[in-house]
Structure 1
Amino acid sequence: MTEYDFETYPTDPDSMSEYLQEREAAGNPMTREEGEAYIAWNTAKEQKMGERIARMAPEEEHGKGGIDGLDEAMSARFDLEDARFEVQALVETAEDAERAAGGKRPIKRERDIVASEGFSGMGVTPRGW
C-alpha cells in the first residue's frame, strides 16, 4: 500500500473541503484507497489527541494569556474529526458509484434519511426494538 504524508493535509473541515475540490478540479481526485487510508490515519491521530487531553495536568488546561488550553485542544480534535467526515463522504460516494456500476443500489446511510417537515422523531423507536 502506498504511504501518504497526511501530516501535510489540512486538518480543519473548510480547508479540507477546499483541498478536495482543488484536487478534483486539477484532475487528481482523492482515490477511495487514499480516502480510507486518511480516515484510518485521522482516527488514530484523533485517538492520540483524546488520550493526550485525558492526561492533561490542571496547569496545562489553562494556557498562557488566558486562553484555555483544554478548549484549544478540544477544538483541534473536533476540527480533525470534521475533516475526516469530509473525506468519509467522498469515500462513501465512491463506494456508491462502484455499487451502481455493479448494478446494485447505493447503501442507505443515516444522513440520507429525510423526515417530513415538522417531524422531529422524538419518542419514536425503530421497528423491532
Structure 2
Amino acid sequence: MVEYDFETYPTDPDAMSEYLREREACGNPMTREGAEAHIAWNTAKVQEVGERSSRMTPEEERGSGKHNLSGLDEALSTEFDLEDARFEVEAVMEAAEDAERAAQGKHPLKRERDIVTPEGFSGMGVTPRGW
C-alpha cells in the first residue's frame, strides 16, 4: 500500500473540502485507496486526541495563554475538526462508490443523509421517493 503523509493534510473541515476540490480540479482526485488510508489515519488520530484529553490534569484543562481557551476545549475542537474532515473524505469515497455502481447499471446506495423529511418529522421508516 502507498504510504501517505497525512500530517500535511488540512484538518479543518472547510480547508479539507477546498483541498479536495482543488485536487479534483487539477485532475488528481483522491483515490479510493487514499480515502480509505486517510480515514484509517484520521480515526487513529481522533482516538489519540481523545485519549490525550482524557489524561489531562485539571491544570492542563484550564490551560493558559493569550486566548484563555482551556486545554480541554482545544483538544475537543481538534477532535471535532478531524472528524468533520473525515466526513468530507468519506463523502468523496461514497461518490466514487456510487459512480462505480452507476457504471455497472446499479442504483446508488441509500444513505441516511439521502432521506429528506419535513421539519419536525423524525424520519423513522421513511425512504426517499423513487427507491
TM (norm. structure 2) is: 0.89
Q: Who is 1:86 aligned against?
A: 88
Unaligned runs of 5+ in 2: 127-131
Q: Name the aligned partner's letter for residue 7 of structure 1.
A: E
Q: How far did residue 103 of structure 1 move?
A: 1.6
Q: Who is 1:101 aligned against?
A: 103
The 5 A counterparts of 1:52-91 are 52-65=52-65, 66-91=68-93
Q: Name the aligned partner's letter for residue 92 of structure 2.
A: L
Q: Name the aligned partner's letter for residue 41 of structure 1.
A: W
Q: What do the CA deviations read for 1:7-65 (whole angstroms, capped 9, x no partner)?
A: 10000001001100111111111111101110011001101111111111111101113
Q: Name the aligned partner's letter for residue 118 of structure 1.
A: E
Number of equivalent positions: 124
Identity, in percent, stands at 69
Q: How far did residue 67 of structure 1 move?
A: 2.0
Cα separation, partners in 2 of 1:106 and 1:125, compared to 1, 3 Å: closer
Structure 2: how far apart are the matches of 1:118 and 1:77?
29
Q: How far did residue 119 of structure 1 move?
A: 4.0
Q: Who is 1:120 aligned against?
A: 121
Q: Name the aligned partner's letter for residue 72 of structure 1.
A: E
Q: Who is 1:48 aligned against?
A: 48
Larger RCO (alpha carbons 8 Å, 6+ apart): 1
Give secondary structure in 1 for the equivalent of 2:102. helix
Root mean square deviation, CA, Å: 1.5
Q: Who is 1:5 aligned against?
A: 5
TM (norm. structure 1) is: 0.90
Structure 2: how far apart are the matches of 1:118 and 1:8?
40
Structure 1: how far apart are the matches of 2:42 and 2:56?
21
Q: What do the CA deviations read for 1:57-97 (whole angstroms, capped 9, x no partner)?
A: 11110111332110011001100000000000000000011
Unaligned runs of 5+ in 1: none
Q: Who is 2:129 aligned against?
A: none
Q: How far did residue 125 of structure 1 move?
A: 4.7
4+ residue runs over 3 A deviation: 124-127
